[in-house]
Chain A
Amino acid sequence: MTKQSRRLFLKLSLATASSSLLYAPFIHASTSKHVVIVGGGIGGSTAAKYLRLMDSNIKVTLIEPKKHYTTCFMSNEFLGGERDFKTLEFAYSGLQKHGVSIIHDRVISIDTIKQTVKLSSNKSLNYDRCIVSPGIDFKWDVIEGYDETIAQSIPHAYQAGQQTLTLKKQLESMRNGGTVVIAPPANPFRCPPAPYERASQIAHYLKTHKPKSKIIILDDKEKFSKQKLFEAGWKRHYGYGTDNSMIDWVSVSNGGHIESLDAKNRTISAQAQDFKADVINIIPPQKAGKLAFATGLTDNSGWCPVDHKTFESTLHKNIHVIGDSTIASPLPKSGYAANSEAKVCAAAIVSLFNDRDVLQPSLINTCYSLIAPDDAISVAMVYGYDQGKIIKIKGAGGLTPMDAADHMRKREADYAHSWFNNMTHDIFS
């Protein structure tokens, strides 16, 4: 075959492949199926859009109390002073354009036998399949002197929105020379690198505006995500390891575990010693979203066990759990993972409705962390499926190399911002 004829041959075969196969419509039963999605966050919104893209005969209803979603990702960059808060907010009109029905309400309960979802307005909806992506809830009872009410003034900023704004305001009104305490929880929790990206971004803000200030990380862990890269970055930008370091990290074996909080005096008692702080950011330990507990979707771990091929709950039929609430380890609890899981779950539901074999899952997670404005690092992994479990593909993935050149770290920062734009567009537009 000549080069030309080979091309033509290939093109023709691909053209037939694409027109008749990639876009082949399903032959449908007379009644269309209804999927109710609980939670218009990263997992739920992605699933809503992709269900409609994959099979426009499926009726999709998304229930979400808020009129706008505020992303957690890049909220640390907002704290660092390099991003406008408005850029973190997304409306639901994009999903409506895909034919998703949006109901702004809260789901109170799910009747798993009758397959109905009950809303706080008392309205009730039937579903053929339900996707639950309620995000995280906090364990409030583990730190003495700290609870949900106090968290309004001692913000966690781990569900973005008012919490993020409160933390930002406190940083802005802090004196030069003040102390910020960040207290991350033990594993597992939402977005493992996020507390350390936060420390980096707050350090960037302080270095620019209040250079005599200090950040102390009181950790409930012995090590943390991307640790070597973070520490090298802190050394480079924030004097880490010197007497003038803007960031100190106290591991759990060095007494980082927090025992109690005196909110009035802004004093936090860690195992090592008491710290008087100007701004305190406790990130409490976490569990699956409330509705997952109310519906009986959680196991002893406080998270939701699912079939890794379909994300269907192993505890209740016809309910799928995706996002942070689910147990999808080795996938982390990240937005990228939630987005990937949603697509696998949507594809599985479409296949199940049409009596087809469920496809072999394939997923990616890439998490960028911005250490300083032109300096980002990342961790990436490709995931497959083997013997009933999601697995990491051997030989794939890993971290930014420790010796990556400055211009490559700058590229990572540009790609991190591109990721934010593409990710939010993929979910909400």
Chain B
Amino acid sequence: MSVINNLKYIFFCLLTLNHAYAASPNQASMLANTCAACHGTNGSSQGPATPSIAGISHDYFIDAMTAFKEDDRPATVMNRIAKGYTEDQIKLMASFFSNQKMNPTSQNFNSAMVKAGKDLHDTHCEKCHAKGGTVSEDDSGILSGQKTPYLRYTITDILNEDRQVSRKMFKRLRNIHQQTGQKGIEQLLHYYASQK
């Protein structure tokens, strides 16, 4: 985002402040509430598979929706849904969901797998997915407490080069996979499933 774009966006926020935002419910919740049937009330998913989007990074949300919209990311329904929204609407939804708190539901995990997964995470992932993947700063996805099948699909897509991520992330994942095989990936998933 350039400085101009930034200012434009903040101006946009101030503008909506006097209109749609001036009351609760507002245009952002109007858009976001329709996501609940699949992603859970306010974006916290009950699972088993659909990811939580509560607490998501504002910029990551916009990137994801834009990628879906342009068919740049493997999808089942999200590419069809994302095409229904303008850039401004996507920004409103990003502001809504990034301001929610994720309430993870409990998932199954095995403690030995969790331990090995934590080591892998600390070595390979922690630098960007900080604090055990609990935070959405640096525009990265929240991994901790995220739904296991969703993370498994995502990693599969990245390893198969069906989904574009940064060169750095691709290399790291490929290294884990080359060194530890699918077992290492599963250990990572157990670790994230164990986190709340």
Residues of A at under 8 Å CB distance from B? 1, 6-7, 9-10, 13-14, 17-18, 21-26, 50, 54-55, 336, 339-340, 343-344, 346-347, 350-351, 354, 356, 359-364, 366, 378, 380-384, 393, 395-398, 400, 404, 408, 411-412, 414-415, 417-419, 421-423, 425-426, 429
Contact = CB atoms under 8 A, between A and B. Distances in A.
A104 B85 CA distance: 40
Nearest to B41: A426
A71 to B, nearest CB: 13
Contacts of A13: 10, 13
Contacts of A344: 30
Given A364-B81, A397-B84, A414 B6 contact: no
B46 A378 contact: no
B48 A418 contact: yes
Most A C-beta atoms less than 10 A away, residue of B21, B33, B40, B58:
B33
B36 interface: yes
B64 to A, nearest CB: 16
A-B pairs with lowest CB-CB distance, top 8: A382-B84, A396-B84, A418-B50, A414-B49, A393-B84, A421-B46, A364-B34, A21-B21
Contact of A356 (B3, B10, B23, B28): B23
B22 A17 contact: no
Given A22-B99, A426-B41, A340 B23 contact: no
Interface of B: 1, 3, 6, 9-10, 13, 17, 20-31, 33-41, 45-50, 58, 74, 76-77, 80-81, 83-85, 89, 95-96, 98-99, 137, 147, 149, 153
Contacts of A414: 48-49, 149
A419 B38 contact: yes
28 contacts: A6-B1, A6-B3, A22-B21, A22-B24, A22-B29, A23-B24, A26-B23, A55-B24, A339-B36, A340-B37, A347-B25, A356-B22, A362-B30, A362-B31, A364-B34, A364-B81, A382-B81, A382-B84, A383-B84, A395-B83, A411-B49, A415-B50, A415-B76, A418-B147, A421-B47, A422-B36, A425-B46, A426-B41
